[in-house]
Amino acid sequence: MADVTKEAVLQRLSMVKGPDLESDIVSLGLVSDIFISDGRVIFSITVPSERAQELEPLRQAAERIVSEIPGVGKVMVALTAEKKPGSPSPAPAAAPVRPAPSAAQAGSVPPPMAGRSGPAAQGNSEKPGVPGVGAIIAVASGKGGVGKSTTAVNLALALKANGLKVGILDADIYGPSLPRLLHLTGRPEPVSGRVLKPLEGYGLKVMSMGFLVEEETPMIWRGPMVMSALTQMLREVAWGELDALVVDMPPGTGDAQLTMAQQVPLAGAVIVSTPQDLALIDARKGLNMFRKVDVPVLGIVENMSYFLCPSCGERSDIFGHGGARAEAEKLGVPFLGEVPLHMEIRARSDAGTPVVVSEPDGPHAALYREIATKVWEEVARNRQDGAQAAPAIVFD
């Protein structure tokens, strides 16, 4: 396969006329930095926000002409709408614009993020789910380093062990962990057109940006590119029939979380925190963010809850203990369980053999299965109560 260069991409893009239909998009300075990895080309095009929908053919033309370069396997192009310095603040509907869906998905993908304008803004019809997927469960944390990805993987495997058909999406674009946690390598194969076939590990269907770029490659992306990538990994993957799709969210309350809340009706969010006060402050922010966008909070998991010495069996509360349980009671959300800080969980995760599958009869696997049972009960309860209304972005 021939090496693809930024110069070659820019040369092709200089053949695409800009919004003025006179100069090209390169000379107009509308093309972002170009990211190239293993034949995959990713970039964005800045356009006037009020003309974003009108200029979708421009995005398609750029994608098509770059895909004709020898050695290019996949092209990802996003339209970016930016406010010019000194210009008045745009209306909520002029938020960053993601690329329009492919023809096969036209009409099934919701419009760009908009402020709530009335009761219709909460209608499920505006937030269609992913075809074939029964429930989408976000696993989130207010900060990094609390074991969120390990929890997400073991939760997904525990849901499967409980008899469900499960997939897992790595939405942490900047720091994807699933390839290592599930010991998966390889590239997703195209099924038809832009649709990719997910990889499989331990019976889970898996998609991650880590399958598309090298592990050491930094993802230096703007928010709209993250939104575009997440949209494609959600809607342009052949997930098949799943009872649940677990989404490993990046830490914090940024573009990825808002994109997920906008794009699909999440069945709920699981918040992962350690017991100490500092982590709980950030966990509270994440919980409040999901509440603001009308996503049910399924509960809180206290990870690294305590430490059992492998030699003497003595228990130590290194990060304190019970903080997440107290926070759950205070905020009126379910407490899902305590997971200890244990060498076996860490070692199995590093080796790509999570404890739920490597030691299915062990005490840690039992903990995760119990948490999975509570999560699924909450999903079912919310459905019965009619609480799974589509999320709406609220601008205070």
The mean pLDDT value of the chain amounts to 75
What is the DSSP track for 330-354?
A: HHT--EEEEEEE-HHHHHHHHTT--
Residue range(s) in the chain whose domain bears CATH number 3.40.50.300: 133-384
Architecture (CATH level 2) of domain 6-100 = 2-Layer Sandwich (3.30)
User: HSE (CB half, 13 Å, CA atoms) of 137?
Assistant: 31
Encode pLDDT of 145-174 as tens digits.
787 899 999 999 999 999 999 999 998 877
Encode pLDDT of 265-275 as tens digits.
889 989 888 77
Taking residues 284-303, report their average pLDDT. Answer: 80
147: which DSSP letter?
A: -
Look at residue 276 in the predicted model and tell me its pLDDT.
62
Look at residue 118 in the predicted model and tell me its pLDDT.
31
Residue range(s) in the chain whose domain bears CATH number 3.30.300.130: 6-100
Between CA 9 and CA 43, with CA 30 as vertex, the angle to 5 degrees is: 45
Q: Is the pLDDT of residue 196 over 90?
A: no
Taking residues 209-227, report their average pLDDT. Answer: 67
- Terminal alpha carbon distance of the chain: 51
pLDDT band at 100 (very low <50, low <70, confident <90, very high): very low
Taking residues 225-248, report their average pLDDT. Answer: 85
Q: What kind of fold does domain 133-384 have according to CATH?
A: Rossmann fold (3.40.50)
% of the chain with per-residue pLDDT over 90:
20
Look at residue 114 in the predicted model and tell me its pLDDT.
28
Look at residue 215 in the predicted model and tell me its pLDDT.
58
Residue of higher predicted confidence among 105 and 6: 6
Look at residue 310 in the predicted model and tell me its pLDDT.
66
Pick the range with the lowest mean pLDDT from 17-26, 86-95, 173-182: 86-95
Taking residues 43-63, report their average pLDDT. Answer: 80
Residue of higher predicted confidence among 330 and 137: 137
Look at residue 167 in the predicted model and tell me its pLDDT.
95
Q: Is the pLDDT of residue 51 over 90?
A: no
H or E stretch including 167?
Answer: strand 166-170
Look at residue 153 in the predicted model and tell me its pLDDT.
93
C-alpha dihedral sign at 62, 65, 69, 74: positive
C-alpha gyration radius of the chain: 22
Q: Is the pLDDT of residue 144 over 70?
A: no
